[in-house]
Amino acid sequence: MSRWRYFFRRLLLSVPVVLFGLTITFVIVRMGPIDPVAAIVGPEGGGASRGRIEERLGLNEPLWQQYITFMVDMLTFNLGQSWVIQPGRSVESLLMTYAPRTLWLGFWSVLIAICIGIPLGFYAGLNPNTKSDYLASFGGIVWRAMPNFWLAIIILAVLRQSERFFFGLSWQSLGVSNNLIGQPPLDFIAFTDWTTIGIISIPVGVYFSFSTLIESIKQVMPAAIVLGSAAMGNEMRIGRTAVLETINSNYVETAKAKGLRDRVIVWKHVFRNALVPLVPIITNEAFILIGGSVIVEVIFGINGLGYLFFQAAVQGDLPLVGSLMFIFIVLIVSINILQDFLYTVLDPRVGYE
Amino acid sequence: MSMNEFDDKTLRERIADNPQPALAWLAGALVLVALELGRLASGIVQVGETTRFALGGIASLPGLVEESVASSLGEIAGLVAFGLAALVLLGIAAILVKWLLIPWTLVDRLGIEASTGVKDIIERVIVTGLLVVAAALVVLTPVGGVLEMAVSAFTRGVEWVSSLPTITSRELISNEGYQLPDGSWEGTFLGLSPAVAWALRVAVVYAYALVWLAWLWRGYETFRAHYREADWTPRDDSINRFRNHYWGMFGLIVVIMFLVMALWAPAVSPATAEANLYQPYEHEFEYYGDDGVETISHGDANFDSRSQGGDINVGIMSYDDYDRFHPFGTNTDGKDLFTFLAYGAQVSLVIGLLATVLMAVIATALALITAYYKGVTDLVTIVASDSIISLPRFLLVLLLSVLFMQANHPVAEIYDGGLLLALIFAGTGWPLLWRSVRGPALQVSEQEWIDAAKSYGQSPAATMRKHMAPYIAGYMLIYASLSLGGVIIGVAALSFLGFGVQAPTPEWGRAVYEGQSLIPTSSWHIATLPGILVVLLVTGFNALGDGIRDAIDPQSEASDGAAGAAGGGG
């Protein structure tokens, strides 16, 4: 089977995966132990309002019809609205408000994990069985085993007392002053003016505030470090093994025999090849980020998607929960497809079976 | 150790031929059991009660199904659903009963001729039928009452045994007493200070556990030297490799330390959970106050020994005002933190192990079936597992536990939500495990001996069990121990958010939650210590998994996608 046929088979397979994932969501939300209407109506709601809401949600119809309506609505991205948290607000507008914060958080946590984890792993791999290798490896293992929620509160406590730990250097007033808990300001960039060429709109006036950007990064940094911690440990470990494997391979030996300089060998022959096994690790992080963002967002007070999902689940806003779950399914399935695509392009050995 | 059927002698016969080493080992084991007979019996009582409760819950399932079906489709459909659900449950029970209790095949005894696959089915139908008759007898006739009486008589007997003194009992090495004005201690073991008495008891517990381990190892060596048919098996090499694997040994030691802490939680904790955590106002103790010896309830004493930062603090390795020793300090409401954490270890490990065992059973069964039949079964399982993976695991777990807990579902009450959590984690975690062992399972299914077994006429189930499962078991052990850490972290994280194990059952995550705002104060220990325990335990399981991997398959390299994915979220 050619690589591309394999890829297209995977692509085709993702259709039943989305459908079945949605079905599970439907079963949990509509047939689960909680009555979706109860939380919406509230304890003092009478039978009349109950009936009205049941009718609007389509709950008075037979189950199979509810199922079909639910599936069609979701698949046509007719996501409905929130009923309890912000009644009447459409899910799209909620997403527009909440998603950018999670994306910003996720972006930094992936970036930090890559920028710290991979270099450390490569360093450990280049100096195997030395003291610094042991230190880095052991640190990575412990770092990975730390529960995010615990790491988060410890980091918060340390930063709150940063004068005591860092010789009078206070994190809160470092650079720009801010609170430790709260959402990062995202209005550092805005388009003030649009011009239309034909049918395409192009922003011409751009507002950009450097200090707000710094503030925003500083605000999101501790949360991003916590969220990326597990991924960082993973990348370090895999990076170390990958470097060790490539360094002992024949083509590196050949390069050495040719008399290439160490610097060239390391940069051109070792690092480039060691990066290949790291691709799935980095894409896999998306899973962890989406799931883990709940804890981190709740503790750091960032009103992102995870926080929204948590509130929706706790307060019984089940229609919103269903729609958010669908968004997550689509996100994860697309990331999987992206990973398969990258594999197909990068590594010709994949997928002959 | 299962014996293969081509040996001319069974293990029993070999022991009968040369009973001396086996008897010597057994005598030692009996002495060890006798030392802790009371605790063992009380453990049996506890497990029995839980099993009974769980069985009651399972037995009420058909009723629940009937109710929900009857409400939407009518009475008769409800009755049919009741019958079907009961049959399904008894069918599952039949598989277990057949596997555990009936070593010979009924079909052969009855002389029924059929192909092997059909035979298996007939066998199961017969056992299910017998179970239906038994269940009907118990429910409808006085046999049930007789059974009830027999069980309660047995329980009373075991309870009497559990009152026997043991070597690690709190009464023998007591750390509860009070200090007289002249500095001497009253009521403690040999008049030692409570701290020393407690440390001594912990040391005795660990020494006892260590002796048991050494004795078990000796038992294995006796078996190897005297009773095993083969002089050498590949497993010997694996064990030798593991013994020289320092990282893996470190993991094993850490895991064993926590297991001992969980199993002997009543013995290693400075106060009993009953008195200190669950019903503090119904238990009293003596202390030396202003007017000589006085009595006070644990609850009142706890109120004066809270840790809330600043001056209101009972830190690690310190006494409170009532001469009670707190190795890890106290909680925000004055309960002993070490007791809380020791019982919390029990909760974490029970949930983690239960979830992982369930996951591993599902994943192994599916891996065997999909590798044996391939084709459509494989494809369906891929779609199902990919779909479950495409729902973010932590969010799914969170959603399910929130829903079940807010609806006050009966499942959420067993073990204060522990069973529910284990089921949820197992239900959402098996796809990751299945993915990890699918490769090895497919590999082994391509081997010639599978073909040979097929053409020899062995039934699919037997082929999978005898010729494929042993090969997968090693891999399963690796990935199971790696994913156990993920479950433990997940449970703690859920409890931290308030939707895991409910109070008053102790759970590590809840201690972190209670103490999170006190970290900068003098009461830093409440949130910090449980976190360190989680890190240690999870690192231990990861190291154990690494060690087993290197022992089983020294060529393999770290492929820990499963562990990474499982660990995420919390």
Most A CBs within 10 A among B348, B399, B484, hence the mutation to make, goes to B399
Q: Which of B392, B509, B512 sits opposite A291 (nearest CB)?
A: B392
Residues 6+ apart with CB under 8 A from B125: none
Name the more confident of B350 and B78: B350
Name the more confident of B30 and A81: B30
- Answer whether residue B426 shows pLDDT above 90: yes
The verdict on whether omega for the bond into residue A87 sits within 30 degrees of 0, i.e. cis, is no
Residues of A in contact with B344 (CB under 8 A): none
Query: Where in chain B do CATH 1.10.3720.10 domains reside?
Result: 338-566
The CA distance from A109 to the nearest CA of chain B, in Å, is: 13
- What's the whole-number mean pLDDT along residues A53-69? 82
* DSSP 8-class letter at B227: I
Name the token pair of A92.
């799209």
The CA distance from A49 to the nearest CA of chain B, in Å, is: 21
Distance, in Å, from the CA atom of B471 to the CA atom of A54, rounded to the nearest integer, reads 54
Q: What share of chain A is helix, strand, coil (3-state, %, to 5)?
A: 70, 5, 25
**Contacting A residues, span 18-77, partner chain B, CB-CB under 8 Å:** 18, 20-21, 23-25, 28, 32-34
Name the token pair of B359.
């996951």
Distance, in Å, from the CA atom of B327 to the CA atom of B336, rounded to the nearest integer, reads 8
The CA distance from A264 to the nearest CA of chain B, in Å, is: 27
Burial of B523 (0-12, 13-18, 19+ CB in 10 A): buried
- Answer whether residue B114 shows pLDDT above 80: no
Residues of A in contact with B371 (CB under 8 A): none
- Answer whether residue B1 shows pLDDT above 70: no
Q: Which of B390, B512, B558 sits opposite A329 (nearest CB)?
A: B390
B487 CB near a chain A CB, below 8 Å?
Answer: no
Backbone angles phi, psi at A176, to 5 degrees: -105, 145
Considering only alpha carbons, which residue of chain B is nearest residue A298?
B497
Q: Per-residue confidence at B560, pLDDT binned at 50, 70, 90?
A: very low
Residues of B in contact with A287 (CB under 8 A): 389, 392-393, 565, 568
Q: Which CATH superfamily, name and number, covers B338-566?
A: MetI-like (1.10.3720.10)
List pLDDT tens digits, range B195-240: 999 999 999 999 999 999 999 999 999 998 888 888 888 888 889 9
Distance, in Å, from the CA atom of A90 to the CA atom of A312, rounded to the nearest integer, reads 14
> Given this model, what pLDDT does residue B264 score?
92
DSSP string, A110-163: HHHHHHHHHHHHHHHHHSTTSHHHHHHHHHHHHHHHS-HHHHHHHHHHHHHTHH
Name the token pair of B225.
């030297």
| A146-150, B287-291, B436-440: segment of lowest average pLDDT | B287-291
Considering only alpha carbons, which residue of chain A is nearest residue B442?
A353
- Cβ(B224)–Cβ(B523) under 8 Å? no
ipTM rounded to 2 decimals: 0.86
Q: Report helix, strand or coil for B286.
A: strand
Q: Which of B519, B528, B568 sits opposite A230 (nearest CB)?
A: B568
List pLDDT tens digits, range B247-284: 899 999 999 999 999 999 988 998 888 888 888 888 88
What's the pTM?
A: 0.87
By C-alpha distance, which of A186, A183, A180, A153 is closest to A304?
A183
* Type and span of the H or E element at B511: helix B508-515
**Contacting B residues, span 496-555, partner chain A, CB-CB under 8 Å:** 496-497, 499, 509, 512, 516, 519-520, 524, 527-528, 530-531, 534-535, 538-539, 542-543
List pLDDT tens digits, range A14-40: 999 999 999 999 988 887 777 777 777
Considering only alpha carbons, which residue of chain B is nearest residue A326?
B391
Q: Which domains does chain A have, with CATH numbers?
A: 91-346 (1.10.3720.10)
- What's the whole-number mean pLDDT along residues B304-333? 87
List pLDDT tens digits, range A234-289: 888 888 888 888 888 888 888 889 888 888 888 888 887 787 777 777 777 777 77
List pLDDT tens digits, range B455-495: 988 888 888 888 898 888 888 988 898 889 889 999 999 99
- What's the whole-number mean pLDDT along residues A129-148? 87
**Contacting A residues, span 201-260, partner chain B, CB-CB under 8 Å:** 230-231, 234, 237-238, 241, 245
Helix extents (H) in B102-193 = 106-110, 116-140, 143-162
**Contacting B residues, span 391-430, partner chain A, CB-CB under 8 Å:** 391-396, 398-400, 402-404, 406-407, 409
Half-sphere exposure of A100 (CA within 13 A, CB side): 13
Q: Which of A142, A230, A328 sits opposite B539 (nearest CB)?
A: A142
Label residues A151-188 b or e (16+ Cβ within 10 Å = b): bbbbbbbbbbebeeeeeeeebeeeeeebebeebbebeb
Q: Which of B384, B527, B564 sits opposite A20 (nearest CB)?
A: B384
Name the more confident of B141 and B265: B265
A310 CB near a chain B CB, below 8 Å?
Answer: yes
Report the percent of chain B where pLDDT is more than 70. 94
Half-sphere exposure of A135 (CA within 13 A, CB side): 6
A143 CB near a chain B CB, below 8 Å?
Answer: no
Residues of B in contact with A23 (CB under 8 A): 387
Residues of B in contact with A149 (CB under 8 A): 492-493, 496-497, 509, 512, 570
How many residue pairs bridge chain A and chain B with CB atoms within 8 Å of each other? 174
